[in-house]
């Protein structure tokens, strides 16, 4: 976390292109929990494709009952449930864009049927 924090502080006030420097994977630990944040793509300008991130939590850390993900069908159902729950939370707590173009937009990639 400290690595990402330092990079973000160094970028304060700089243009969009400078933010490419934050791409990569970062590990966060707190209160006996651990997860990884992967910054997969950084938006090049306000009108470019949005930045893309991934969050990875080990199943042992997620503390979800194994019965929910013990086979492929259940795993897909759990992933769908979590995706929809996060999408609802984004809709409830994130209000509008900030900045120009697509700046500040927060959304989750939704899978298809």
Judged by average pLDDT, the poorest of 34-38, 62-66, 72-76, 103-107 is: 103-107
pLDDT per residue over 33-66, tens digit each?
899 999 999 988 888 888 999 999 998 888 899 9
Q: Which residues contact 65 (CB under 8 A, 6 or more apart)?
A: none
* pLDDT score of 56: 92
Tell me the per-residue pLDDT of 81-96, one tens digit each, with 9 for 90 and over.
999 999 999 889 887 7
CA–CA separation, 45 and 112 (whole Å): 28
Domain edges within the chain: 1-61, 64-113
Cβ neighbours for 103, distance < 8 A, ≥ 6 positions apart: 43, 46, 97
What is the pTM for the complete model shown?
0.77
């Amino acid at each position: 976390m400290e690595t990402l924090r330092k990079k973000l502080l160094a970028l304060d006030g700089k243009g969009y292109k400078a933010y490419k420097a934050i791409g990569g994977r970062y590990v966060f630990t707190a209160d006996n929990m651990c997860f990884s944040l992967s910054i997969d793509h950084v938006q090049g300008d306000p009108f470019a494709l949005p930045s893309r991130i991934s969050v990875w939590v080990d199943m042992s850390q997620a503390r979800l009952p194994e019965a929910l993900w013990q086979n492929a069908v259940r795993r897909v159902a759990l992933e769908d449930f979590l995706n929809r729950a996060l999408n609802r939370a984004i809709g409830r707590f994130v209000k509008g864009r900030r900045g120009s173009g697509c700046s500040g937009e927060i959304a989750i990639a939704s899978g298809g049927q």
